[in-house]
């Protein structure tokens, strides 16, 4: 645990200090464990930090009241605590929302961006009402039904059948989460701003990835986001839904390593 911004964040660090730093920011409502296969692949060459966002995984939820800006404050606090003036940010879905706000707020602290299965647009009213219903359901009925509904949408049906242990592990992470943190994260996403106007100002190398059957953040919206970021690269990951790094880790890691190896070293 690392004390940051008035809370504690669980953080796994691997790889040589002094190598290019890469911070992995997980999706909702998972934990840093979703990046295990990426940490294995990156640690021989890169200094990798994978942490649990406030309220998720093992990072405490506090009173459950936080915004996307709080999560960005946490990220910058973590970089300070790790003595990293800057890093490549790799964010999946909600982690991408954090990364997009981070680069808009403090571009000098971001060396490169990997945006996986994410979007820049804020929630529309339908999405806000769906999150309000999900919060109500978690508060009344707990996390099990919520976990099943989320996982059914997040994993492609093929991957869900072929990768049962992976889906079961994700379910366990959700069931172990603090409901206050899960609801707090929903509130933070529901109230987040639209980062689309800031895309044109991004000046760091950027890779956008999307699972070919991602229904939560479809490849078409990822492609449009890529077009708005100067010089950004886009790749579709075959045989994957929203959880592309878990569903097709081989292809995800190949694209990630190829991108990171092309960045200037410290």
Residue 240 near ligand MLT by CB under 6 A: no
Q: At 242, phi and psi to the nearest 5?
A: -70, -25
> How far apart are CB 7 and ligand MLT at their closest, in Å?
20
Binding flag, residue 28, ligand MLT (CB under 6 A): yes
Among 42, 48, 87, 94, binds ligand MLT (CB under 6 A): 94
160 is a site residue for ligand MLT (CB under 6 A): no
Given 130, 216, 224, 228, the residue binding ligand MLT (CB under 6 A): 216
Q: Which is nearer to ligand MLT, 216 or 263 (CB)?
A: 216
User: What angle is formed at CA 170 by the lines to CA 168 and CA 175, rounded to 5 degrees?
Assistant: 90
Total site size for ligand MLT, rule CB under 6 A: 7
Q: How far apart (Å, rounded) are the C-alpha atoms in residues 181 and 173? A: 13
Q: Which residues pair with 8 in a beta bridge?
A: 3
The packing angle between helices 94-105 and 179-190, to 10°, is 50
Instruction: Report in angstroms the alpha-carbon separations of 180 from 121, 167, 188.
Output: 25, 23, 12
Told to check if 181 binds ligand MLT by CB under 6 A, we report no
Q: Does 244 bind ligand MLT (CB under 6 A)?
A: no
Q: Does 189 bind ligand MLT (CB under 6 A)?
A: yes
Q: Select 16 or 152, whichever has its Cβ closest to ligand MLT.
A: 152
- DSSP conformational letter for 178: -
Nearer to ligand MLT, 34 or 39 (CB): 34
Pairing of strands 47-51, 21-25: parallel
Decide: is 205 part of the binding site for ligand MLT (CB under 6 A).
no
Rounded Cα distance, 63 and 53, in Å: 14
Binding site for ligand MLT (CB under 6 A): 27-28, 93-94, 189, 216, 242
């Amino acid at each position: 645990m690392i004390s940051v911004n008035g809370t504690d964040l669980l953080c796994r660090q691997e790889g040589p200090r002094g190598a290019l730093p890469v911070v992995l920011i997980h999706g909702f409502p998972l934990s840093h464990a979703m990046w295990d296969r990426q940490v294995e692949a990156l640690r021989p060459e890169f200094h990798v930090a994978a942490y649990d966002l406030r309220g998720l995984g093992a990072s405490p939820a506090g009173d459950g009241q936080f915004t996307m800006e709080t999560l960005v404050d946490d990220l910058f606090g973590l970089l300070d605590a790790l003595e990293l003036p800057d890093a490549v940010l790799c964010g999946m879905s909600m982690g991408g929302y954090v990364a997009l706000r981070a680069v808009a707020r403090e571009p000098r602290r971001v060396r490169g961006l990997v945006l996986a299965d994410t979007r820049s647009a804020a929630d529309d009213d339908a999405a806000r009402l769906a999150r309000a219903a999900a919060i109500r359901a978690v508060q009344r009925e707990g996390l099990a039904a919520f976990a099943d509904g989320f996982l059914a949408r997040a994993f492609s049906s093929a991957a869900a059948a072929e990768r049962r242990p992976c889906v079961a592990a994700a379910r366990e992470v959700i069931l172990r989460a603090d409901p206050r943190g899960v609801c707090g994260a929903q509130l933070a996403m529901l109230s987040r701003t639209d980062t689309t106007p800031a895309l044109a100002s991004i000046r760091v190398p950027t890779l956008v990835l999307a699972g070919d059957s991602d229904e939560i953040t479809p490849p078409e919206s990822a492609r449009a986001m890529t077009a708005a970021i100067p010089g950004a690269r886009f790749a579709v990951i075959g045989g994957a839904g929203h959880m592309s790094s878990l569903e097709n880790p081989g292809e995800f890691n190949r694209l990630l390593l190829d991108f990171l190896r092309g960045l200037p070293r410290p």
